[in-house]
Amino acid sequence: MILEDLKHKAKGKREQSIYTCLEEIKSSWKENVGGLIQDWVEIAGEQLALNCTPLNIQNKILTIGASHPQWRQALQYNRLELIQSLKSYGYQIKEIRIRQYYPNDLVTRESEKEIWEKHPSRTDKTGITNCPFCKVPSPKGEVKLWGKCSFCRRKELRID
């Protein structure tokens, strides 16, 4: 009985020490990119956070990777607001550098065969229906995707 109580107390101390250790590690991240990654959604906003990633902090310069050129531009336009947001969270950042960054999990390369298998113009997969606008037989995939056939869609998108 006494031995079991000692084991239970020792286990409790060990669990507490692991928790304390993890909290110390987490608090040491505050001035590091690890802490920034944890706070990133609140600091940058959901849209930027989904498409841009903090990569490095060195000499108070934050390097951010953007997954697409449009996000690089969005970061550039919002640079000053982002620096202010970082400072409000306790990060002493004086400048932001932006670079193109393609995380491995975002880069997916489909073969032409895979793309063609899902293509909305496949009549052998999706079937045929009449376009609600021009009444011409059209692939169901196109009508489902755009609400019209590809020819009517093209006319809609044409800029004169």
- The pLDDT tens digits for 51-89 are 888 998 889 899 999 888 888 988 888 889 999 999 998
Report whether pLDDT(27) > 60.
yes
What pTM was computed for the model?
A: 0.49
| Res. 29 pLDDT band, cuts 50 70 90 | low
- The pLDDT tens digits for 31-45 are 577 778 888 999 988
Instruction: Flag the least confident range among 11-15, 72-76, 131-135, 150-154.
Output: 11-15
Distance CA 43, CA 48 (A): 9
Q: HEC states along 68-102?
A: CHHHHHHHHHCHHHHHHHHHHCCCCCCEEEEEECC
